[in-house]
Structure 1
Amino acid sequence: MDVIAIGETMISLTPDQRGLMRNAASFMPRVAGAETNTLIGLSRLGHRTGWISRLGEDELGAKILKEVRGEGVDTSLVELDDKNSTGTFFKEIVNESDVRVYYYRKDSAASHMSPSFLNEAYIAKASYLYLSGVTPAISSSCRETVFHAIELAKRNDVKVVFDPNVRRKLWSEKEAKETLTKIIRQSDIVLPGISEGEFLFGSREEKEIGQACIELGAKLAVVKLGEKGAYYTSEQEERHVPAYSVSDVVDPIGAGDAFAAGLLSGLLDGISIKGAVERACWIGAVATMVTGDYEGLPDRKQLNQQTSPGNKEDVSR
C-alpha cells in the first residue's frame, strides 16, 4: 500500500447554477471529502491507496462507497453504521471567487470513529499515512483516533503527511491551535496554506510558515500559495515553485487535496522534491477546471502527456 488516509467523506449537494442557493431549482449530489479526494487523485495516477472511515448504512453512504471503491481505493476498512447517518453539505458557488460551504455533519457516522477502530497491520503496510486537520475537529473521539493512528504509523516507520486544513466553525481557536500544532510536531511532511500559516503562526510570509513547521519537527514543509505556486523548505533546500496558469477557474474546492495527491505521487515515483512540488502545482491547477471535488483529477496518461513549460522539471518523470 502506498498511501492510507483517515477521514470523513460526505455527499456534497451543488446547485444547478451559480448564484445564491435560494434561487436553485435542483441540486447535483457529489462525493466529497478531503482525504478521499487525495486518495482518488493518487489512485488515478496508479498508486495503491486505502481509506479508513465510517459511513451511515444508508443510500448516501452506499453512493460514497460505490464511487470511492470504483476509483480504485481500497475500502475494506470502512465501517457501516446503522444508527448514525452519512454527513452532507451544500456548496454554493456564487462566483469563481465566492464559494460558500454549509455543513450538516453533526453526529454523523464518521464522527463516531474511535481508536479501537484502527487496524495496526493495515496502517503498517503503507508508505505514507495522510491526515487532514478536519478529522480531529469533528469530535473528541476522532481526535483520539488521529493521534492513535500517528502512534501506529510511527511505530511502523510509516511517514505522516499532514494538511492542517483549518475549519474554524468546528472547534474553538485555542483547541484548534493546540491540536494542529501537536500534530505538526509528529508529522514528517506538512502542507499548510497561507491562511493556515497565519492562523497557526501569526504570519502570512511563506518562509516564516515553512520554517515554523520545520522547527516543530517536520522534515519537509510545502506552503501552498494558490495562483503564486508553492514554496517548500527542508533541512537541505528551499525553493519557490511557480504556479501553472489557469484561464478559467470553474471550481476551486478540492485544489489543495489535488495538490497533496500530486506531491505524494511525485515522492512515490522517486522524483526530486522540486519535481514533486511542480507536479502538485500542475494537478492542483487542473482540478480547478472541472466542477466537483475530484472529478477533474488527471490519470497517469494525462500526466505522461504533460510537458513542463519554461525551465520546470518534467512533472511526469
Structure 2
Amino acid sequence: MSGLVTVGESLALVYSPRAGGFDTTADATVSFGGAESNVAIAAARLGAEATWIGRVGDDAFGRRIIRGIRGEGVTVEASVDPVAPTALMIKDRPSLGRTRVVYYRAGNAGSRIAREDVPHEHLAGAQIFHFTGIALALSAASAETVLAAARAAKEAGAAVSFDINHRSKLWSAEEAAPAYREAIALADIVFAGDDEAAIAVDAGAPAELAQRIADLGPREVVIKLGERGAYALADGRAHEQPPFRVEVADTVGAGDAFVGGYLAERLAGLGLEDRMRTAAAAGACACRGDGDWEMMPTRRGIAELVAGGDPVAR
C-alpha cells in the first residue's frame, strides 16, 4: 500500500514578505504552492508515505515544483506539458494584516491534466486518495480526471478524502454547489470550512453542517472553523477541537496543514481525538510563517505546540 495519494495542480508562487504590495515594493520571493501538494508535504513531514500527481509546464517553475515537492519526501508523478506553462500565483500585502492573491492559471499546464497522467498503480495501492474542489473548478478535463481517479482508488479499496477548498475566483457558489455534492457523495472523508459547507448543504451551525454532509454518504466529516477550532462527526460520534495559540504571520496553507495532519494520523491508525488534535496543531504551525508549504509541521513542532499551547483562539 502507498499511503496517501493526491492529484491536483501545483503553481509557481511569487510573494512579498513586506507590506505595501507589488504596487510599490520590489522585494519578492519565488516558491510554489497548491492544495494537494501542500497536504502531501504536511503528511510526509509527519511520517506518512505520500504521493503527489500533477502536470507542470516545461519551464523553470515546473522543474522547481517537481524538485521542491520531491525534496520533502513526497513521491512525485508529474507529467510535463510541452505547450502550456506552469500556472502562477502572486501573493502580496497591500497593508498590514491584509493578503491579496491573484492567479494566472486558466489554460495552463495543471488545468490540462488528463486520465493518462494518473498512473493506475498508485491508485491501486493507495490507502487514502485525496483531492479538492480546486481540481473540480480548474477545467472540465481536471474535474473528469480527479473524479475518475477517486472512483478507481475507491474501487481498489482506498478511502476517498475530499476538501471543498472553495475558490470564488474560479467559480461561483451556484456553479460549484452541484459539483461539491457529487464529490461529497463519492467521498468517505470530507473537510470544509463552515462557509464552504454552506455552499453544498446550506448554512447552519457546525453540527448541522456536518450532519447534512454525512447524510450524503461520507463516514467522516470535519468542519474547519479557523480561530474557533474545528468540529468532527465520524461514524456518528462528534468531537469539538479547540484551536492552539500561535502568533499568526500568514494563514495561507493552514487548512492544508490541518488536512495533512488529520490524514497522517488516520494512516497511523489513531483515533478521532488524536487526529483532530494533531490537525489543529498542524494548522496552527502553518500560520507561523510565510509561504504555502514551508511552515508545514513536523512531529517535533507539533509536540512542542501541544505541550505548551493553550487551546484558545489562534
TM-score normalised by L of structure 1: 0.93
Report the counterpart of residue 218 of structure 1 in structure 2: 218
Report the counterpart of residue 315 of structure 1 in structure 2: none
Q: Do structure 1's residue 109 and structure 2's residue 118 form an aligned pair? A: no
Root-mean-square deviation (Å): 1.7
| 1:143-183 CA distance string (max 9 Å, x none) | 10011011101210110011000112212433311111100
Report the counterpart of residue 280 of structure 1 in structure 2: 279
**Aligned counterparts, 1:227-238, within 5 A:** 227-238=227-238
Task: Pick 1 or 2: higher relative contact order, CA cutoff 8 A, min separation 6.
Answer: 2
Read off the aligned partner of 2:45 and give its amino acid letter: R
- For the 8 Å contact 1:12–1:90, the answer to whether it is kept is yes
| 1:7-55 CA distance string (max 9 Å, x none) | 0001111124123330111211111111111111111112111111100
3-state DSSP class of the match of 1:83? coil
2: distance between equivalents of 1:308 and 1:232?
A: 22
Q: Do structure 1's residue 174 and structure 2's residue 174 form an aligned pair? A: yes
2: distance between equivalents of 1:194 and 1:298?
A: 24
- For the 8 Å contact 1:2–1:126, the answer to whether it is kept is yes
2: distance between equivalents of 1:7 and 1:95?
A: 31
1: distance between equivalents of 2:128 and 2:95?
A: 36
Cα displacement (A) at 1:275:
1.1
2: distance between equivalents of 1:264 and 1:232?
A: 13
Report the counterpart of residue 13 of structure 1 in structure 2: 14
Instruction: Point out where structure 2 has 5 or more consecutive residues left out of the alignment.
Output: none
2: distance between equivalents of 1:38 and 1:164?
A: 13
Report the counterpart of residue 53 of structure 2 in structure 1: 52
**Aligned counterparts, 1:163-312, within 5 A:** 163-246=163-246, 248-305=247-304, 307-308=306-307
Report the counterpart of residue 124 of structure 2 in structure 1: 124
Read off the aligned partner of 2:52 and give its amino acid letter: W
3-state DSSP class of the match of 2:187? coil
- For the 8 Å contact 1:96–1:249, the answer to whether it is kept is no
When structure 1 is superposed on structure 2, of 203-212 and 52-61 the one drifting more is 203-212
Read off the aligned partner of 2:32 and give its amino acid letter: V
Read off the aligned partner of 2:277 and give its amino acid letter: E
Report the counterpart of residue 71 of structure 1 in structure 2: 72
3-state DSSP class of the match of 2:19? coil
TM-score normalised by L of structure 2: 0.94
3-state DSSP class of the match of 2:103? strand
2: distance between equivalents of 1:193 and 1:172?
A: 16
| 1:204-257 CA distance string (max 9 Å, x none) | 4111110111000010101001111110012331021111112x2101000000
Question: For this pair of structures, how many residues does the alignment match?
Answer: 310
